[in-house]
Amino acid sequence: GEDVEQSLFLSVREGDSSVINCTYTDSSSTYLYWYKQEPGAGLQLLTYIFSNMDMKQDQRLTVLLNKKDKHLSLRIADTQTGDSAIYFCAESMGGGGADGLTFGKGTHLIIQP
Amino acid sequence: DTAVSQTPKYLVTQMGNDKSIKCEQNLGHDTMYWYKQDSKKFLKIMFSYNNKELIINETVPNRFSPKSPDKAHLNLHINSLELGDSAVYFCASSHGGEKLFFGSGTQLSVL
């Protein structure tokens, strides 16, 4: 199966909170990441969490990490139309080094007015 | 200044041609990468390279070859292009394999 799994689509109403979930497999990952890709653009590093933390908050973004279950989530408070994008969860393979990141298939966040 | 820049942004070419995509990073990073994003937006690593090693994803055809003239550049050469090579190719860089920064992508269309 895939190393990193996430749902392909999430639809939320403008102003509500969005929660995007991800499961990963490599317990040696030093960091876990969320990237954002807007239409026609590259991947923007949105936020990341160190593997020995269980929560990180950055303005409207909250990242939760459950190492036991290998579960990562991204919560976007007060979702706006500008948040419409594909959100990729990623883990570093082998704890870093030249192996790069393994990405999930991306969650398309759709905002309803 | 753009941290990771790749050119061209769009590349349209005929089957069988040979083409190159260039990538440069000004972040002082030690590792660079090429990723392929298919039409379903799935991302797969193709290569990673630092001054010590080249790691090749075993699924990448040998028609694809990375060339690094120096640590700030990693170019991608593709020989004998095929229809299935049509995709968006992203260059990225990092320090020590964490927190990758991506270029804006090259959309390759093979006709």
Please state the three-class secondary structure of A31-89 as a single string: EEEEEEECCCCCEEEEEEEECCCCEEEECCEEEEEECCCCEEEEEECCCCHHHCEEEEE
Distance of CA B37 to the CA centre of its chain: 10
Q: Which of B50, B99, B104 sits opposite A42 (nearest CB)?
A: B104
Q: What is the pLDDT along chain A (113 residues), one digit of tens a residue?
A: 458 999 999 999 999 999 999 999 877 778 899 999 999 899 999 999 998 999 999 999 999 999 999 999 999 999 999 999 999 999 987 655 667 888 999 999 999 98
CB contact under 8 A, B45 and A102: yes
Query: What is the reported pLDDT for A94?
Result: 60
> Considering only CA atoms, which of B31, B56, B61, B32 is closest in space to residue B46?
B56
Q: Which residue of A has its CA nearest to B49?
A: A98
Split chain B (111 residues) into runs of 10 and give each run's mean pLDDT. Answer: 90 98 95 94 91 79 92 95 97 89 96 96
CB contact under 8 A, A43 and B45: no
Three-state SS at A100: coil
How far is the C-alpha of A36 from the C-alpha of A46, rounded, in Å? 6
- The Cα of A113 is separated from the nearest Cα of chain B by a number of Å equal to 25
CB contact under 8 A, B45 and A101: yes
Q: What is the pLDDT of residues A43-72, one digit of tens each?
A: 999 999 998 999 999 999 999 999 999 999
Query: What is the reported pLDDT for A30?
Result: 82
Neighboring chain A residues of B94 at a CB cutoff of 8 Å: 100
